[in-house]
Structure 1
Amino acid sequence: MSTSTAERAPRSRSPFARRTPDDGPRARFSQLLPFLLEHKRALAVVIALSILGAGASLGQPLLVSQVITVVENGDPLGWIVWALIGLVVLSGLVNGFQHYLLQRTGTSVVLSARRQLVRRMLRLPIAEFDMRRTGDLVSRVGSDTTLLYAVITQGLVDAVGGVLVFVGALIAMALIDPVLLGLTVLVVAVAVVTVVLISGRLRAASRRQQEKVGDLAASVERVIGAIRTVRAANATDREIAAVEKDAQGAWTAGVAVAKISALVVPISFIALQVSFLVVLGVGGYRVASGAITVASLVSFILFLFMMIMPLGQAFGAINSVNQALGALGRIQEIVDLPSEGQDDRALAPLVALPAAGASTPGTPAIEFDDVVFAYDERSTRGASDDQDPVEEHIETGVLHGVSFVAERGRRTAIVGPSGAGKSTVLALIERFYDPQGGAVRFAGVDVRSLDRTELRSQIGYVEQDAPVLAGSIRQNLLLGSPTASDDDCVRVLQAVNLGEVLSRSADGLDAPVGEDGVMLSGGERQRLAIARALLAAPPVLLLDESTSSLDGVNEQMMREAIDAVAEDRTLVVIAHRLSTVVDSDRIVVLDHGRVVGIGTHSELVSTVTLYRDLAKHQLLV
């Protein structure tokens, strides 16, 4: 029996929903600093090299001026030429080593950002994954974090040395000729103000570009994840068109960023050209009038170029920082979300989990006491070509006052029509969600008072869709039992009739299963998921329609394997077939989120009409 979308937290945002640049938090420069300060030692070396390089650069025009003066006087050049060559070589070596450190530090900053993002992302509440697109999350880890690299390698830190050169050149120019300096500063000031005004638009455009890249990644992930269905439905061309639409959106957003950032290039070029022409014209006049010498004018022009160069670096830094802040806003949006267990202590004091053998068979293991639960669905309305979407929250009710007890050492089956809330019951036991009303108790303790890690260590959970992770058979089995031996792995595989899978490849347990277990059949994927739970041998087993994809022979072997490990264990089973139900010690019948009957098979057949109808149809609904 399949589970309707009402039983699962719906993914409300369409992969093609439009978003605005303001559709998330804006990052501040102060939020970028921790990523930089984490590598403060390397950055300190870079800054020291920048200072050394700046000194070497600033010394060159002074020596050039000395060379001109010496040549005019007819004196031998001597040490001045060698000093000039030495400064040029030193400047080149410093710049090369500085470039290496910047590249390495930039890569380290990206690594730090990715670590922080992944650590938080994989600890987010399950509800966040229900309401977000996988491709967009992947894009934040890959594309968005990469923009932090440019901050280090293309601007911010490199601009520190540029500032020193700029200030040094400014001072030297003031000493040479304050009049020429005043005219130069006037031209440069206009360029700086223009760039600052542009930078605000660049940050918003950059964020929008990253959003569109996320949409594209989500669209590609969506199609690739269902490629067989797409091919079988002859929908390849339509899906290509849909992905190309998102690609076009990303291109359009990228062009918008390019247009804004491209304005900086001509501004820098114009500032340099105008400054040069002003200095050349006015400076030539002042040389002719005897106010300054030719050597001073040449030196001033060289300093002018040195001043304009770091100015271009500063403009590039503004571009890089604003683009990075646009991406950092998307990173911080995830980092700032509360982790799954972050608010546990606010719900109730954490208590020690009761020992697995502390209760005797027949005592309550899991209790649902008047449980009320509704999924918080984020709905996007008003998304059209000329209207921005408005996000609102809608509560989708699933469980309404559900009460029942699953006893220790007993098998409890949960049955009901599609959409009754069966899978939600298991999700609440696992604390993927917490109820809005009532309580779920584990060994008599409200699960909201239990540490999630400790709670889940006592529970084996086989999901309805039997997910298999890309990798090997061994990696899948050891997911919940990392210390299990090869013999244990082989034993559980044989118990679920998967021994023949090992003989297909010479790799044995290391045989690959493919993306999403594509190299296994549906039944084999389901049996592998059950083997993974059996290997951990927890006190409680939650089985969500675990035999739905099995034929009669494999189902019988599966039941025998489960029965073998079920002794003195609590089983809560969402039943798919009548054979699973009749063997259960207690059956809970759900309908539209309400309990309509509890009892044994024989009791329910005679007292509950819905159960009688389900049993009549072998529960295959």
Structure 2
Amino acid sequence: MSSSAPPAPTTPRRSLLGRPVDDGPRASFSQLMPYLLEHRTVLSWVIVISVLGAGASLAQPLLVAQVISTVEEGGELGGLVALLVGLVVLAGLLSGFGHYLLQRTGEGVVLSSRRTLVRRLLHLPISEFDQRRTGDLVSRVGSDTTLLRAVLTQGLVEAIGGSLTFLGALVAMIIIDPVLLLLTVLVIAVSVVTVVLLSARIRIASRKAQEKVGDLAAAVERAISSVRTVRAANATEREITTIHEDARGAWLQGIKVAKISALVVPISSIALQISFLVVLGVGGYRVAAGDIEIAELVAFILFLFLLIGPLGQAFGAITSVNSALGALGRIQEIIGLPSEAEGDTDVAPAAATADRAAIAFDDVHFRYPEAARKTEQEKVIAEVVGDASDGGDRERTVLDGVTFSVPQGSRTALVGPSGAGKSTILSLIERFYDPTEGVIRMEGVDIRALDRTELRGRIGYVEQDAPVLAGTLRDNLLLGSPMASDDDCVAVLERVNLLEVLQRSDQGLDAQVGESGVMLSGGERQRLAIARALLAAPSILLLDESTSSLDGVNERLMREAIDAVSADRTLIVIAHRLSTVVDSDQIVVLEHGRVIGTGVHADLVRDVPLYRELAQHQLLT
């Protein structure tokens, strides 16, 4: 777990229904430091350049005063003017080079934060993805990390060099005229107090703005990923309206940030103008009274500009840092979540047994909070209608004492009505989740004692929705077998009757399949997913409704392909079509999370009423 500091307590906001709304985590500056220290070498050079630039800037008012004095005395100006011009050019060059280094480092901070966040995201437990919106997670990687760049490019490190200029100008002004300095400090103090009071509001408003951007990204992702369903339901305009509302919410929060920032930005300008007028008026009086020389007044005014400049940088740094900390809070929220493997340290695997079954379930129970299963829309509906049955403390049992064994090299089918727990069993074998109670063993060893990478390397898994990745046929096939040759890819496509897809385009394996495999039919997507699993040559193959989208001809061909691969591996198949599994070595019948029968087709038809009903419904008796 991350050692990030806990969020500061705040007064909870209220939703439209009067319930508390969490403002989300707040990042501290200490959580930002690791991202900066990763680039400490470059930042050190930036600080050195800033110091040199500050020195060149501080020397200029002194030279101007010397020029004025020399003119009053009638001396030569050639050397002084050349030196002054040289200092101006040097300060400009140092500023430009330092700006480049800061921009470069800012991009580096964004890159490292994105790498860290993506690594954590893709190692999160599956349950986290069940509860979070994809668009919001994408927004954290894209939009939130971008704000970290502002920490460097909009003043933080520049403010370090600026602080040296500020201190140098302050010392020089004390030496020239303490009275004028005191008046200047009073004006500046008022502006500083105002900025400090506004900074907390900037951080809160910025974080809320990023959350609204996350809502917008989630809404767009949902609409685009389901665009065919939306069109078919004539819901396009309703989706547009929903997205427009989210876009307006993001816009309103952005306006709030702009309003608060607009109060900060002119403060430095107002402070400079008031200070300038005070110094000009009082300084002119003191020159007339003979308390200071005209050259000293000019130098004081130039130092005043050097004093106010870093103050403006500091104000900008406060704004950018608070905006970045609001975004960093959302980033740290994800980074602070435990990874899938971190929870394994708390697991005590059961002792190994002599049973060498490929997979064995021993009194397995599984349940999870009902609230975690609901979509965001379902949660809103439940809140509006006051559905008391959806309490977060109520848990739903999915598997209730499941026990069965899968012999090595056999074909086992899981059948039963929807919601019986069939797909959950495959998820438990893959360790997407761990059992609440009981033990799952692979060749006699509790799978919780096995490294997840090793476990999943021995298992091929084809999900019910048969996801296909955007890219080419080759990209999809090599996902789990990056070293496979083109000949291997072609051979496995032939085994699942996909040579037609391969020959459909002159690009062959480089043919694009489209976003989510849109260029393929439903059956072709399923067969491609099976081909991808087969290419990895796993010892155990899990097929979740692998023939659900196939027509009669392709179903027969798929059954032949499954028959061909079952000779040297263990198969666990889920199917609603009993015709695809009647010849299995073993059929496990589930209902309401319980095993109500195990055996071959003929025995189950005779002994298990539910299976007999399913078989009669599908004309298999």
Aligned residue in 1 for 2:460 = 460
Pairing of 1:437-586 with structure 2 (within 5 A): 437-586=437-586
Q: Is 2:350–2:439's contact at 8 Å kept on the other side of the alignment? A: no
**CA-CA distance at 1:18 after TM superposition:** 12
Cα distance in 1 for residues equivalent to 2:518 and 2:18: 33
Aligned residue in 1 for 2:10 = none
Cα distance in 1 for residues equivalent to 2:618 and 2:167: 85
Cα distance in 1 for residues equivalent to 2:272 and 2:20: 37
Q: Is 2:466–2:526's contact at 8 Å kept on the other side of the alignment? A: yes
Pairing of 1:150-549 with structure 2 (within 5 A): 150-348=150-348, 363-376=356-369, 377-378=371-372, 392=392, 394-549=394-549
**1:159-217 CA-partner distances (Å, limit 9, x unpaired):** 11111111111111111001111111111111111111111111111110000000000
**CA-CA distance at 1:576 after TM superposition:** 2.4
**3-state SS of paired residue (1:587):** strand
Cα distance in 1 for residues equivalent to 2:20 and 2:44: 38
**1:492-512 CA-partner distances (Å, limit 9, x unpaired):** 101111001111211110111
**1:92-147 CA-partner distances (Å, limit 9, x unpaired):** 11111111111111001100000000011000000001111000000000000000
Letter in 1 for 2:505: S
**CA-CA distance at 1:394 after TM superposition:** 4.4
Letter in 2 for 1:550: L
**1:49-73 CA-partner distances (Å, limit 9, x unpaired):** 1001101111111111111111111
Indicate whether 1:592 and 2:585 are aligned.
Answer: no
Distance 1:114 1:314, change over 3 A: same
The unaligned stretches of length 5 or more in structure 2 are 1-15, 385-389
Letter in 2 for 1:206: S
| Stretch deviating more after TM superposition (206-215 or 23-32) | 23-32
**CA-CA distance at 1:581 after TM superposition:** 2.1
**3-state SS of paired residue (1:268):** helix
Letter in 2 for 1:346: D
Distance 1:507 1:185, change over 3 A: same
Distance 1:473 1:563, change over 3 A: same
Aligned residue in 2 for 1:10 = none
Q: Is 1:169–1:307's contact at 8 Å kept on the other side of the alignment? A: yes
Distance 1:391 1:308, change over 3 A: farther
Letter in 2 for 1:112: S
Aligned residue in 2 for 1:615 = 615
Q: Is 1:547–1:576's contact at 8 Å kept on the other side of the alignment? A: no
Cα distance in 1 for residues equivalent to 2:618 and 2:296: 100
Letter in 2 for 1:108: G
The unaligned stretches of length 5 or more in structure 1 are 1-15, 385-389
**1:298-332 CA-partner distances (Å, limit 9, x unpaired):** 11011111111110100000001100000000000
Cα distance in 1 for residues equivalent to 2:483 and 2:393: 43
Q: Is 1:458–1:539's contact at 8 Å kept on the other side of the alignment? A: yes
**CA-CA distance at 1:619 after TM superposition:** 9.2
Aligned residue in 2 for 1:7 = none
TM-score, structure 1 as length reference: 0.92
**3-state SS of paired residue (2:550):** coil
TM-score, structure 2 as length reference: 0.92
| Stretch deviating more after TM superposition (575-584 or 467-476) | 575-584
Cα distance in 2 for residues equivalent to 1:146 and 1:292: 50
Letter in 2 for 1:453: T
Cα distance in 1 for residues equivalent to 2:341 and 2:437: 19
Cα distance in 1 for residues equivalent to 2:513 and 2:403: 40
**3-state SS of paired residue (1:89):** helix
Aligned residue in 1 for 2:4 = none
Cα distance in 2 for residues equivalent to 1:507 and 1:537: 26
Distance 1:494 1:443, change over 3 A: same
**CA-CA distance at 1:592 after TM superposition:** 1.1
Cα distance in 1 for residues equivalent to 2:552 and 2:18: 48
Letter in 1 for 2:555: E
**1:384-412 CA-partner distances (Å, limit 9, x unpaired):** 7xxxxx99454232111111111111111
**CA-CA distance at 1:345 after TM superposition:** 2.7
Q: Is 1:416–1:589's contact at 8 Å kept on the other side of the alignment? A: yes
Aligned residue in 2 for 1:127 = 127
**1:317-368 CA-partner distances (Å, limit 9, x unpaired):** 00011000000000000111111111213213799x99xxxx9xx9411111
Cα distance in 2 for residues equivalent to 1:391 and 1:92: 63
**CA-CA distance at 1:158 after TM superposition:** 1.1
Distance 1:66 1:17, change over 3 A: farther
Cα distance in 2 for residues equivalent to 1:465 and 1:158: 52
**3-state SS of paired residue (1:34):** helix
Aligned residue in 1 for 2:33 = 33
**CA-CA distance at 1:560 after TM superposition:** 1.3
**1:222-279 CA-partner distances (Å, limit 9, x unpaired):** 0000101111111111100000010011001111111111110122222111111111
**1:549-584 CA-partner distances (Å, limit 9, x unpaired):** 011111111111111111131111001212222111
Cα distance in 2 for residues equivalent to 1:302 and 1:619: 96
**3-state SS of paired residue (2:589):** strand
Cα distance in 2 for residues equivalent to 1:532 and 1:49: 55
Q: Taking CA–CA contacts closer than 8 Å with sequence separation of 6 or more, which of the two structures ends up with the larger relative contact order?
A: 1
Q: Is 1:578–1:619's contact at 8 Å kept on the other side of the alignment? A: no
Aligned residue in 2 for 1:13 = none
**3-state SS of paired residue (1:166):** helix
Letter in 2 for 1:31: Q
Cα distance in 1 for residues equivalent to 2:349 and 2:499: 46
Q: Is 1:19–1:211's contact at 8 Å kept on the other side of the alignment? A: no
Distance 1:393 1:299, change over 3 A: farther
Q: Is 1:21–1:207's contact at 8 Å kept on the other side of the alignment? A: no
Letter in 1 for 2:144: D
Indicate whether 1:45 and 2:45 are aligned.
Answer: yes
Q: Is 2:350–2:446's contact at 8 Å kept on the other side of the alignment? A: no
- Identity rate of aligned residues, in percent? 70
Cα distance in 2 for residues equivalent to 1:539 and 1:461: 11
Cα distance in 2 for residues equivalent to 1:264 and 1:383: 40
**CA-CA distance at 1:417 after TM superposition:** 0.5
